[in-house]
């Protein structure tokens, strides 16, 4: 009897093996890494900019930016003070371990303390492909609406931290924070959460302290 393994299972299995290799490579170099997930427009790049500019004097930072086209976001990361590598996926809606492997080869990992991977803007596909990073951070935003945990449970369930961006818009946008948080808690109890505004700087210090502490714990 011939056993048939679904194609998707084969793809994900191969990806997981490469992700483990990426993790081992980062660990050997002493690099701590974060994978940023979000829908388009939630503020991933703004959070990258703020994180890089505020930590540049304390840490050596690099950013790998995934996007379907252009180098706009990588250029912004570089302008903020990071070494930046752009991955153009050519239509793919997510990064995978193979893409990250290629990007890592373009970096001098011995000169990096913190690596931020900005994944493609999408609340579905990126959650299914491990990269080998140490933590996954979901960036949600007030204008997206308070129903996103209920509509995209897989993404909310699988992350290590949640940033709620654009809280400065709460007085102007219909967003029930209690309803949103109940949805998050049902999927990911105890998830560390940072309400903040990249525009005003509100709440940024708590986020930065967490990042530095995660790096310390990892090392």
Query: pLDDT tens digits for 119-166?
Result: 999 999 999 999 999 999 999 999 999 999 999 999 999 999 999 999
Question: What six digits make up the tokens of 102?
Answer: 């290629």
Residue 5 has pLDDT above 60, yes or no: no
Strands (E), 40-142: 61-67, 83-88, 114-118, 135-141
Q: What average pLDDT does the chain have?
A: 94
Helix axes 204-218, 44-55, angle to 10 degrees: 70
CB atoms within 10 A of CB 27: 15
Q: What is the pLDDT of residue 218?
A: 73
Q: What is the pLDDT of residue 55?
A: 98
pLDDT digits (tens, 9 = 90+) for 80-115: 999 999 999 988 899 999 999 999 999 999 999 999
Which of 44-48, 66-70, 151-155 shows the lowest per-residue confidence on average (mean pLDDT)? 66-70
In a 13 Å sphere around the CA of 135, the CA atoms on its Cβ side amount to 23
- CA-based angle 54:57:60, to the nearest 5? 100
Residue 54 has pLDDT above 90, yes or no: yes
Element (H, E) at 54: helix 44-55
Q: What is the dihedral sign for C-alpha 108, 112, 67, 11?
A: positive
Residue 4 has pLDDT above 60, yes or no: no
pTM comes to 0.93
């Amino acid at each position: 009897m011939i056993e048939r393994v679904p194609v998707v299972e084969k793809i994900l299995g191969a990806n997981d093996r490469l992700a483990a290799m990426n993790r081992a490579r980062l660990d050997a170099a002493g690099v701590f890494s974060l994978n940023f997930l979000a829908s388009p427009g939630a503020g991933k790049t703004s959070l990258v900019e703020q994180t890089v500019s505020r930590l540049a004097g304390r840490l050596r930072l690099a950013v790998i930016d995934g996007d379907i086209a252009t180098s706009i976001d990588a250029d912004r990361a570089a302008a903020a003070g990071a070494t930046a590598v752009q991955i153009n996926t050519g239509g793919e809606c997510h990064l995978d371990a193979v893409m990250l492997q290629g990007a890592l080869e373009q970096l001098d990992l011995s000169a990096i303390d913190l690596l931020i991977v900005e994944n493609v803007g999408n609340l579905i596909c990126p959650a299914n492909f491990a990269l080998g990073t140490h933590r996954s951070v979901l960036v949600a935003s007030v204008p997206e609406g308070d129903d996103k945990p209920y509509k995209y449970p897989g993404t909310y369930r699988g992350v290590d931290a949640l940033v709620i961006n654009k809280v400065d818009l709460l007085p102007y946008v219909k967003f029930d924070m209690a309803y949103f948080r109940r949805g998050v808690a049902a999927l990911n109890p105890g998830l560390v959460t940072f309400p903040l505004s990249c525009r005003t700087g509100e709440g940024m210090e708590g986020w930065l302290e967490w990042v530095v502490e995660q790096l310390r714990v990892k090392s």
